[in-house]
Amino acid sequence: MTRKFFGTDGVRGTANRFPMTPELALRLGAAAGRYFRRDGSAAHRVVIGKDTRLSGYMFENALTAGFTSTGMNVLLLGPVPTPAVGLLTHSMRADVGVMISASHNPHQDNGIKFFGPDGFKLGDDAELEIEAILEGEVELAAAENIGRARRIDDGRARYLERVKSTFPSNKRLDGLKVVIDCANGAAYRAAPEVLWELGAEVIPIGVSPDGYNINDGCGSTNTAAAAAAVREHGADVGICLDGDADRVMILDETGAVADGDQIMALFSKRWADEGRLKGHTLVATVMSNLGLERHLAENQIVLLRTPVGDRYVVETMRRRGYNLGGEQSGHIVMTDYATTGDGLIAGLQFLAEMVRTEKPASALIRQFDRCPQMLRNVRFASGKEPLADGAVRRAISDAEGRLNGSGRLLIRKSGTEPLIRVMVESEDEALMAQAVENVVSALEAVR
């Protein structure tokens, strides 16, 4: 069965445009409430967090109405990182957790992500069942059984203590000057507080959210502002989070950037050396660079690839018993510490390695030489299916033939935006550029 509303990471779209309307959010809350109250018992609860988008207020209220209408009690966390919702769903013994966020997308977008009672994101089967309830007649609670809602004022503090507990107890960050870019998002208070409490000299940027400036010229998808701050202040390192703080990019003292692949390479080698890397395996997606795969093989570490999306990384890790994975985009999943990608915890683990080795960030951010890679995004109109076009399919087949043995081509439809992503890797950069151009041109002709 094809999912109608749920994409790679929950339901997402432009606020006040289908499917991200308050009406749908209300019905989605009611459907999820009914799904998690199938046994009919009382005392069911949901925790709801959000990032700093203006539309978060609207969706928070709509979801609250939907959940309470089916008898669920709602605990409102306010602005907290996505991983905090996973943590608190489990620790507060909730039946379901909800994060209202469109992650790294601009302010006009928003999304709704669900977590199960174990703190992990819901799987495809659960989402399909919620969709089926949503499209039917949702059974509402009797008037005397309507749920209650209350604010939880210390959710951020609970999360901070968990984050700090992942840093070595015998280490401090004294003497380190750290730029932290919070993308004007969910971690705008949490991240600087953690770093300061661990002893760092903190230079915060992207910590003045106004409802509109989330991810705007800052954060993990735009590291230029953080790089400038690192150089201006003579900082030792920069940490760039995205709007909901489940992604991270690391900057060295010159402003050079390490993406998720380089961070995973560092952590996997360290964990393998310490005997902590379960199965001697790193789980990453098809987007991770070929250079990472070669580097891991040289260190007798297996790279297991999944479809794009941190939820698929986590599902594979849980099913196979692995404890380290992530994405090139900066999701770093360490199930010893968290149920989902956590940019702040990943940043602390990098800082711990700086403290342990007494090496500068520049000596740690480049673990391997990247295979040359080109990525182009082609936006398409709603209702179009460019990948079904004959000319597009021929262009893809031709590119694959030309790259045979000298690189790889990956074409995928985004699960969160109306985009086709075209990625090519090859040591032959001229061949790579031509392959990308041919496929993109074919897509643009039918978009």
pLDDT digits (tens, 9 = 90+) for 169-219: 999 999 999 999 999 999 999 999 999 999 999 999 999 999 999 999 999
pLDDT for 170 equals 95
Percent of the chain topping pLDDT 70: 98
pLDDT in tens, 243-256: 999 999 999 999 99
Query: Would you place residue 39 in the very low, low, confident or very high pLDDT band (cuts 50, 70, 90)?
Result: low
Q: Residue 321: is its pLDDT beyond 90?
A: yes
Predicted pLDDT of residue 7: 84
Given a cut of 60, whether residue 377 has pLDDT beyond it is yes
pLDDT at 41: 57
Q: What is the mean pLDDT of residues 259-268?
A: 98
* Contact of 11 with 122, CB cutoff 8 Å: no
- 41's CB contacts (< 8 A; 6+ apart) are none
DSSP letter string over 78-114?
Answer: EE--HHHHHHHHHHTT-SEEEEE--TTS-TTEEEEEE
d(CA 338, CA 347) in angstroms, rounded, equals 13
List CB contacts of 125: < 8 A, sequence separation 6 or more: none
Give pLDDT, residue 2. 64
Lowest mean pLDDT among 118-127, 167-176, 206-215, 358-367: 118-127
What is the chain's mean pLDDT, rounded? 95
77-95 average pLDDT score: 97
pLDDT at 151 over 80: yes
417, pLDDT greater than 90? no
The whole-number pLDDT of residue 407 equals 86
- Residues catalogued as catalytic: 103
Instruction: Say whether pLDDT at 42 is over 70.
Output: no
pLDDT the model gives residue 414: 81
What is the distance between the alpha carbons of residues 209 and 36, in angstroms, rounded to a whole number? 34
Q: Do domains 258-363 and 373-444 have the same CATH topology?
A: no
How high is the pLDDT of residue 385? Answer: 87
Q: Identify the pLDDT of residue 201.
A: 98
Half-sphere exposure of 224 (CA within 13 A, CB side): 4
Beta pairing partners, 257: 251
Architecture of the domain whose range is 158-256: 3-Layer(aba) Sandwich (3.40)
Task: Give the residues across from 240 on adjacent strands.
Answer: 181, 249
**CATH class for the region spanning 373-444:** alpha beta
Q: What is the bridge-based pairing of β-strands 177-181 and 109-115?
A: unpaired
For the chain, domain boundaries: 11-153, 158-256, 258-363, 373-444
Contact 164, 194 (CB under 8 A): yes
pLDDT over threshold 60, residue 425: yes
Q: Structurally, what CATH architecture does the domain formed by 258-363 represent?
A: 3-Layer(aba) Sandwich (3.40)
Question: Does the pLDDT of residue 126 top 90, yes or no?
Answer: yes
Position 416 pLDDT exceeds 90: no
Least confident of 9-13, 28-32, 55-59, 265-269: 9-13
What's the rounded mean pLDDT across residues 422-446? 93
| Homologous superfamily in CATH for domain 11-153 | Alpha-D-Glucose-1,6-Bisphosphate, subunit A, domain 3 (3.40.120.10)
Look at residue 40 in the predicted model and tell me its pLDDT: 54
